[in-house]
Amino acid sequence: MHGDRTGSAMDACGKGIFMIRLSEAEWKVMSVLWEEAPQTIMQLTRCFQETTGWTKHTIMTFLKRMEDKGAVFYEAGERAKLYYPKIGRNEAALQETEEFLERVFDGRMGLMLNTMVEQKALSETEIAELYEILGRAEAQSRREAGMAERTARGKDGEKL
């Protein structure tokens, strides 16, 4: 096992899923790669040098760690290695969100939302977004339930 991967999660088939934990600095590098890949070490260094002070060696260290974690890969270019993200932004965000929810709120979304409501941490716009998201989730759940019911019926329309 490499880096900060964990194999504690299971997929629907019971196979272990490796969670990739990215540091705050690695998230910054991944954001650049998600926006425009490939990138060379020098391109990444130029991107971050002014705002973070990161040197070429710092970027190389991050990329090696991220490669070990399975977050990035490279191809040999004509003059330099070309780095690409190996995981998508949505996949990384989902993993990070699930880990946070489990660690801080014992995996309970309702507890997290209730805490945010009690702390008045949600704007009217965010509340409207949540209503929209929940409406889509409810519609999807109904569609899936309908499909499952149709699948459970036999040829003559009788339940199996």
Residues in a beta bridge with 6: 19
pLDDT tens digits for 53-79?
999 999 999 999 999 999 999 999 999
- pTM for the predicted model, two decimal places: 0.70
158 pLDDT band, cuts 50/70/90, is low
pLDDT tens digits for 107-143?
999 999 999 999 999 999 999 999 999 999 999 999 9
Flag whether pLDDT at 6 surpasses 70.
no
- Written as six digits, the tokens of 64 are 């090696």
Query: Which residues are CB-neighbours of 19 under 8 A, at least 6 positions away?
Result: 5, 6, 7, 8, 9, 95, 99
